[in-house]
Chains A and B, each alone.
Chain A
C-alpha cells in the first residue's frame, strides 16, 4: 500500500464554520506534511510532523491548526477561514531522512477547499 488518503475530496465552508481535513497513510512513514496549493501555483509547505511531533510551522496563521493523533493520521483543523484560504490542501508522507534514500514524499489527492 503506497497510498496517502485524504478526506474529504471537496469541502465548502463558511467563514464562521469549523471543519477538519483528514489524512491517513499505512506505509509506516514517520514524517507527514501539509501543503497548500493555490490555483496555477506550486504547492507551499505549511507544516511538518516528524515522529508525531510538530517540527516545522511555516508561519501559518492560527486559524489553521494541525494535529497528529498517531503515526498514521494527520488532521488539519480549520476555523474562521477567509475566502483567500480557498485552495487545494495536499497531505504528504515520507519514510525517513533524505540521506537514507527513502526520503521522497508521497502525496495524497488533496482536498479542494472553498471558503464562502
Chain B
C-alpha cells in the first residue's frame, strides 16, 4: 500500500527564517510521481511541484527548493526567507504512473505559520 508521512503537524517560524517541511513516502511502484500542494486558509489546493521518481535532481524555484532522495524515500521542501504569505497547510502527495491507479495519496499535512 502507498503511504505518505508528514511527521511535522505544525511549524511556527518568524519571518525571514528558513524552514524545511519533511515528507517520507512508501510505495512498491518502481516509477511514481511526488507532489507538493499548498492549501491557504481559503481552502483551495495549489499545485507547487511534481517530481518523477527517476529524476533525483534537486529543484529550486525562487524561495522554494525541493530535495528528493530516493535512498531514504524522502521529498523535503524548503522555504528560504519565509514570508507571512507562506502561512498555509502544505501537503505532500504520491501518485502512481500511467497504468496504475489515478488517485493521489496525501500526507496529513504540515501547518506552517510565519509570524511577522
A complexed with B? no
A-side residues, CB < 8 A to B, are none
